[in-house]
Amino acid sequence: MASPRIVQGPEPLLRTQCELGEGCVWDTRVQRLYFLDILRHRVYTYEPSSGIWGFETFSEPIGCIALREDGEGLIAAALHTFVFIPSSSLPFPPTSSTTPRPLEHLTPPIPRALHAQTARFNDGACDARGAFLCGTIGKDEEREDGVMWMLEPLEGGRRVEDVQGAQGVGEGEMGDENAGGSVRTRKLLDGCNAPNGAGWSPDGKTFYWTDSRKGTIFTFAYDPYTSALDLLSRKVFHCTAPPYNGTPDGLCMDDQGGIWSARWQDSRVVRFAPDGTVTDEVRFPHCGNMTCCVFGGPDLDELYVTSASSRVSGDHVGRFLEGGDVYVVRGLGYRGVERGRYRG
């Protein structure tokens, strides 16, 4: 078996010093990068053409964001519910204000019985049908209290602006078919520990899904036309073992079906071929926690990578002074695929 190609990561592109940088998405329509600092409740915007970057602060931690197919703004998973962030709350240039902006809830919260053991929503992605999948992370690392939820796409050409307010949210709890409201949710998978990076094969029929606390990337058979997840098809795609330390975190896909996995407490991003072979490693010697990655740029051939401070993982900062910064890696020879957008 051939050894993987080793690429040394560059100096940080943006010295953001996030506590928990995460959730990067690239908008091909406006050529901008969006990413998060979850613990500081921030959504960042970066425009390479102008070099302008900054953030907005919100009233809740935001674990995951998705672009929209039919409008501006972002769909997001916040503390215990899905929310809409209109473009008016993401001005450009960003204000970088620490004053929290309110969030517009789209759905009822997760069931009350889960509140005590649920920390917040974490990572996810949109499928080809326009559904938004995102999982909750449990507070207790030893328990499997996390749940993977799906925010259904809107039918009949409706948009989230049409279902805002109390009529859109409805009453009751997430996943309750009797809760009312116009935006539906359903539970896909429970027994999760720390749901994280997700993506699909080029044909949309294989779902790659990370559970970070289990140190594992799983695959499931998936129906791209109905968003049906075949629970009985679950297989282990990758399980952390030497020479790899830490755990898999966020991921993205390239146009060859490759899986790029950011590594928490491992200072690198790893590319897996569809057969599970490691083909490439990008190493970041001055950053311990790589959290998420996405291809961007005009040709989707630049890999953007977010990171977290070593203080968050309980490690001594030491030589990892770049923890929390954002990187861009050029010249890898791969092209990404645009992330799915929420339909509505």
Q: Name the residues annotated as catalytic.
A: 249
Distance CA 117, CA 143 (A): 9
For residue 230, the one-letter residue type is D
Residues 339 and 26: beta-carbon distance below 8 Å: yes
Cβ–Cβ < 8 Å for 81, 109: yes
Q: What's the gap between Cα 12 and its chain centre?
A: 20
Residue 337, Cβ neighbours under 10 Å: how many?
16
Token pair in block for residue 11: 């100096």
For residues 62 and 155, is the Cβ–Cβ distance under 8 A? no
Torsion angle, alpha carbons of 2, 205, 228, 254, to 10: 60
Q: In whole angstroms, what is the distance from residue 35 CA to residue 265 CA?
A: 20
